[in-house]
């Protein structure tokens, strides 16, 4: 995990180190995912069905007529 966060910070946030070898600026850290717990909570994205709020039908389905 340390290597992953260091790689992400270097690639996307240009994180540099000071004279003591500590990261000066960081984009993400352990707390970004873990929030103080040993195992981060997994959350599945909400499933959206069709265009707009409360859309009817998914891919290849025609909306119901009036």
Domain that holds residue 23: 2-34
Establish if 44 belongs to a structural domain.
no
DSSP string, 1-66: -HHHHHHHHHHHH---B-TTS-BSS-S--HHHHHTTSSSPPP-PPPP--SSSTT----TT-PPPP-
Q: Is residue 7 part of a domain?
A: yes
Give the chain's domain count: 1
Print pLDDT tens along the chain (66 aa): 888 888 888 888 877 777 887 767 778 888 888 888 888 888 887 877 767 665 555 555 555 555
Is residue 28 domain-resident? yes
Q: How far apart are CA 37 and CA 45, in angstroms?
A: 21
* Of 4, 60, 66, residue with least CA distance to 30: 4
In a domain, 8, yes or no: yes
Would residue 41 count as lying in a domain?
no
């Amino acid at each position: 995990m340390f290597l992953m966060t260091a790689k992400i910070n270097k690639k996307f946030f240009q994180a540099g180190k000071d004279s003591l070898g500590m990261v000066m600026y960081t984009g993400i850290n352990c707390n970004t995912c873990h929030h103080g717990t040993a195992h981060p909570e997994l959350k599945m994205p909400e499933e959206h069905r069709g265009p707009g709020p409360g859309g009817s039908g998914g891919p290849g389905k025609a909306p119901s007529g009036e």
